[in-house]
Structure 1
Amino acid sequence: MVHAMGPMGTEGLFRTACEVTLSLMRDQREPLMSVLKTFLHDPLVEWSKPKGPAKTQASETGEIDTHTHTHTR
């Protein structure tokens, strides 16, 4: 794995890129955490496949479309 990092190994561009990335993440902690907390607390995200009978995508789209039209009129 170290050979894939080039002739300088872990002390070359890889280390510099890691240091810059870590520095940016530390400087921009609040915006980064706000994005990551959304993934943690968003109840609408389905991380696994549904266990019941699966709906077709067309019927789901139709339900969403109907729901949207009733609220926008």
Structure 2
Amino acid sequence: MKRTTINLDLDLLDEAAEALGTSRMTDTVHAAMGEAVRRRKLEALTEMKLPDLTLELLEEMRRPRNFDHLPD
């Protein structure tokens, strides 16, 4: 990791922290960068000639499933 100094909009930082569930500035910035990268990767998938595949559908497909109802 690299240590640096940046100028941040503190109101925006507070709003991002609330949305991301973080409490420290560093955690908020890291979570926001991670979310931006995740979103870009999901958008790249939707551009792979899969017109019915939406971000929402991809997120639904990635959610953990419960298979307890299936017989052994």
Query: TM-score, normalization: structure 2?
Result: 0.32
Higher helix proportion: 1
Q: Taking CA–CA contacts closer than 8 Å with sequence separation of 6 or more, which of the two structures ends up with the larger relative contact order?
A: 2
